[in-house]
């Protein structure tokens, strides 16, 4: 049985409180449960005050066989930030722009005095699978999109990890592998109809929206938009064309993180659950888990969480 845990973003203290609430105890530097394992959905770093401790806790559990862990977009970005671009000498797979540096700065500051550890942590990030397709359920950071999963499978190794020669195409916009990784780790975005758009919280004009990809047609852009409430008024209530959204086959449950939900944790559908409840938010965030007991449909009663601050 598994306890599936959402995005941690460097918040080690809530992580330890959650593990304790779930019945884990720390012995010899590893959090263990007598009958269960944890499964972490990615985004261990960036934003929070104890990123190195989060990585230590999660990595120790994985290496001791007490947990599984998958890659989030922040782990992918961390590796790409530090990996030279073979096609552009002096550049990196993730450009060192002001925007990208701002997103990653807290991690760089916390690990900057430990260059050897930095390399070690990046090497561990490279071992993380992009998804897990277990007999009873699936785990992916942001989106289970069958066509993109098929693309990934032509590149990934037998453990769903990116091999060394895949990192460059995975970071090159326009490459099929780039699109597959972007969707899997960051969610499905679709373009709004011609003439429609909105401005994001930074005032930037946008014509693409992140979607509730698990929904199926008939649906409208407003139905499926994952945007702040303050933006919803600008999203058209027009139908999304057939085939744009992959939907979900509901053949087994799938667990995701990534989406910064708020409020009381609950399933999105009988077969889809998000475990990211904004632990890194300034106010009111939670670190959430789902206690998988082998039974379906997914139930609100199986969610366990702790408040980010006490």
Q: Spell out the domains of the chain, with CATH numbers in brackets.
A: 2-144+251-307 (3.60.21.10)
C-beta of residue 43 within 8 angstroms of C-beta of residue 257: yes
pLDDT at 227: 86
Three-state secondary structure of the chain? CEEEECCCCCCHHHHHHHHHHCCCEEECCEEECCCCEEEECCCCCCCCCCHHHHHHHHHHHHHCCCEEECCCHHHHHHHHHHCECCCCCCCECCCCCHHHHHHHHHHHHHHCCCHHHHHHHHHHHHCCCCEEECCCCEEECCCCCHHHHHHHHCCCCCCCCCCHHHHHHHCCCCCHHHHHHHHHHHCCEEECCCCCCEECCCCCEECEEEECCCCCCCCEHHHHECCCHHHHHHCCCCECCCCCCCCCCCCCCEEECCCCCCCCCCCCCCCEEECEECCCCCCCCEEEEEEECCCCCCCHHHEEEEECCC
Give the pTM: 0.95
Strands 30-32 and 25-27: what pairing? antiparallel
| CA pair distance 60, 15, nearest whole angstrom | 14
Residue in 200, 228, 226, 207 with CA at minimum distance from that of residue 215 = 226
pLDDT at 211: 95
Which tens digit of pLDDT belongs to each residue from 195-237?
Answer: 898 887 667 788 999 999 999 878 899 999 998 888 888 899 9
pLDDT at 284: 78
pLDDT at 218: 80
pLDDT at 228: 84
C-beta of residue 287 within 8 angstroms of C-beta of residue 14: yes
C-beta of residue 73 within 8 angstroms of C-beta of residue 181: no
- Under-70 pLDDT residues of the chain: 201-202, 310
pLDDT at 304: 98
């Amino acid at each position: 049985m598994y306890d599936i845990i959402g995005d941690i973003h460097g918040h080690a203290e809530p992580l330890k409180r959650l593990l304790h609430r779930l019945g884990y105890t720390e012995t010899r530097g590893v959090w263990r449960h007598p009958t269960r394992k944890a499964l972490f959905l990615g985004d261990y770093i960036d934003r929070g005050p104890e990123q190195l401790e989060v990585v230590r806790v999660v990595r120790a559990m994985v290496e001791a066989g007490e947990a599984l862990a998958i890659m989030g977009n922040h782990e992918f970005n961390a590796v790409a930030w530090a990996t030279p671009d073979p096609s552009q000498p002096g550049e990196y797979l993730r450009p060192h722009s002001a925007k990208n540096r701002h997103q990653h700065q807290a991690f760089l500051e916390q690990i900057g005095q430990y260059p050897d550890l930095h390399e070690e942590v990046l090497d561990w990030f490279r071992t993380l699978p992009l998804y897990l397709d277990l007999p009873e359920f699936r785990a992916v950071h942001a989106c289970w999109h069958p066509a993109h999963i098929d693309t990934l499978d032509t590149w990934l190794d037998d453990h769903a990890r990116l091999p060394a020669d895949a990192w460059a195409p995975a970071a090159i916009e326009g490459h099929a592998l780039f699109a597959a990784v972007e969707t899997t780790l960051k969610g499905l975005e679709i373009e709004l109809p011609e003439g429609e758009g909105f401005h994001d919280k930074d005032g930037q004009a946008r014509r693409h929206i992140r979607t509730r990809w698990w929904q199926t047609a008939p649906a409208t852009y407003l139905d499926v938009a994952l945007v702040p409430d303050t933006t919803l008024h600008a999203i058209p209530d027009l139908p999304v064309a057939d085939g744009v959204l992959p939907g979900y086959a509901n053949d087994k449950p799938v667990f995701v993180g990534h989406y910064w939900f708020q409020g009381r944790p609950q399933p999105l559908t009988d077969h889809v659950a998000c475990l990211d409840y904004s632990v890194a938010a300034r106010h009111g965030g939670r670190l959430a888990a789902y206690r998988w007991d082998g039974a379906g449909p997914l139930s609100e009663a199986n969610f366990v969480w702790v408040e980010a601050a006490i």
